[in-house]
Amino acid sequence: MRTNIKAVLIGSGMIAGTHLAAMRGNGIDVAGVYSLDTASAVRFAEENGIRAYRSPEELLSDASDLAAICTPSGTHADLAVSLMRSGKSVVVEKPIALTSEDCRRILEAERETGRICAPISQLRFSETYRAVKTAVENGAFGRILTASLSMKYWRSPEYYAGTWRGTKAMDGGGALMNQGIHGIDVMCGLLGVPTRISGYVATLCHDIEVEDSAAASLVFPSGALGVIDASTAVRHARPRRLEICGTRASVTIEEDALVSAEGIDLTGGVPTANGNWKEPSAFGADLHTAQYRNITAALRGEEPLRYTARDAADTVRVILAVYESAATGKTVMPDA
Ligand SMILES: NC(=O)c1ccc[n+]([C@@H]2O[C@H](COP(=O)([O-])OP(=O)(O)OC[C@H]3O[C@@H](n4cnc5c(N)ncnc54)[C@H](O)[C@@H]3O)[C@@H](O)[C@H]2O)c1
């Protein structure tokens, strides 16, 4: 990999600008953008001084090292696999894919091509996550007893109307697969992938094909218990809250900030500008920039990739297990 990394963007919607800023913030040369919606790609390209590709072939003919996939979730797997097969490393927005089979195809393509697949999970690159993860690894919590994730969000009918959001094919799920995934991924990063999962899902408020509310109970590999309570139907919303309680210490994280810590001396957790829990488009690039710092170093062979396709596939596996449990009424033990 040359030191000057050249990248292209796929998709020119809400999250594309965050990737552009994060890549530029790490010295990556963003050459151009391709979107199914050519007018939107042209507008985005003009605003940002990059090229607009009119077709996938045109994008591929402009030799680049990296493609950032910022398209609806249901397109991630096919795009990631075909881009890796064409020789590019990829960054893929969350969720990495919507089914176990698609996760498997991505992992296989990564292995076969030797390219890097870097899924996005920006919360794992926050100061708070780093501080709590280190405390978990050092045993500062003692034995972890419980982890509870509460995400009482509001997404308006307009957020869903006439878009891919809330559709089975392109969103794959709702409150869990689209929004809750961030907190679930942090839980998995800190406590491991649950071994037993029971869940319920419901569409309580919105006119969408997927759940706008979900509740689940979990058993982590250590025996610690967990709960997930997630919704996008709460008109008077609350910030996402994750509480982790051990025999020696407890912490509460709200969004990406550490708001309380007892029994443990933790610093860090300066809230970033990613305060989008109320307004999805009010999105800062700080945490994506932090994650791209590692991705850039990994592409240059200077560091291992800290968040991998395997990690992202594990988190999708947990969400799919909640759906399966909700559909069957049974406890699900996601296979490794
Ligand atoms: N990490 C985060 O916090 C975060 C935040 C928002 C969105 N996302 C993820 O980013 C992805 C995109 O979300 P968004 O809100 O930017 O969506 P969006 O609808 O605003 O933009 C999607 C873009 O992709 C283009 N597109 C659609 N299908 C395509 C295809 N097959 N090939 C090329 N271009 C195609 C559209 O024309 C549009 O430009 C989703 O997977 C979403 O889950 C992540």
Instruction: Convert the pLDDT of each residue in 29-40 to its tens digit.
Output: 999 999 999 999
pLDDT (tens digit per residue) in 153-202: 999 999 999 999 999 999 999 999 999 999 999 999 999 999 999 999 99
* pLDDT, position 273: 44
Q: How far apart are CA 291 and CA 311, in angstroms?
A: 14
Pocket test for ligand 1, best of 93, 155, 159 (most atoms within 8 A of CB): 93
The pLDDT confidence band at residue 283, using thresholds 50, 70 and 90, is: confident
pLDDT at 61 over 70: yes
Superfamily grouping for domain 6-122:
NAD(P)-binding Rossmann-like Domain (3.40.50.720)
Quote the strand ranges of the chain, DSSP E. Answer: 6-10, 29-34, 51-53, 66-69, 89-92, 117-119, 144-152, 196-202, 213-219, 225-231, 241-246, 250-254, 257-262
* pLDDT, position 332: 97
Please choose, from the candidates 130, 203, 223, 209, the residue with its C-alpha nearest in 3D space to the C-alpha of residue 163. Answer: 209
Residue 279 CB less than 6 A away from ligand 1: no
pLDDT (tens digit per residue) in 82-138: 999 999 999 999 999 999 999 999 999 999 999 999 999 999 999 999 999 999 999
pLDDT at 209 over 90: yes
Quote the mean pLDDT of the chain.
94
Nearest-5° Cα angle at 124, 77 to 117: 30
Q: What percent of the chain has pLDDT over 70?
A: 94
CA 20 / ligand 1 centre spacing (Å): 13
pLDDT at 279 over 80: no
The CATH number, out of the four listed (3.90.170.10, 1.25.50.20, 3.90.480.20, 3.30.360.10), of the domain defined by the range 123-282+306-328: 3.30.360.10
Cα dist from 119 to 34, 90, 264, 282, 287, whole Å = 19, 8, 31, 21, 13
C-beta pairs of 250-255 under 8 Å, 24+ apart in sequence: 250/141, 251/132, 251/135, 253/128, 253/132, 253/186
Residue 195 CB less than 6 A away from ligand 1: no
* pLDDT, position 125: 97
CA 248 / ligand 1 centre spacing (Å): 42
Pocket test for ligand 1, best of 33, 70, 167, 287 (most atoms within 8 A of CB): 70
Residue 11 CB less than 6 A away from ligand 1: yes
Q: How far is C-alpha 300 from the chain's CA centre?
A: 23
Residue 69 CB less than 6 A away from ligand 1: no
pLDDT (tens digit per residue) in 254-274: 999 998 999 998 865 445 545
Q: How far apart are CA 65 and CA 300, in angstroms?
A: 11
CA 70 / ligand 1 centre spacing (Å): 4
Q: How far apart are CA 179 and CA 177, in angstroms?
A: 6
CA 151 / ligand 1 centre spacing (Å): 22
* pLDDT, position 79: 98
CA 263 / ligand 1 centre spacing (Å): 42
pLDDT at 226 over 70: yes
Please report, for the chain, the start and end positions of each structural domain, with discontinuous segments joined by +.
6-122, 123-282+306-328
Residue 256 CB less than 6 A away from ligand 1: no
Residue 56 CB less than 6 A away from ligand 1: no
Residue 73 CB less than 6 A away from ligand 1: yes
CA 91 / ligand 1 centre spacing (Å): 13
CA 5 / ligand 1 centre spacing (Å): 23
Cβ 91 vs Cβ 19: under 8 Å = yes
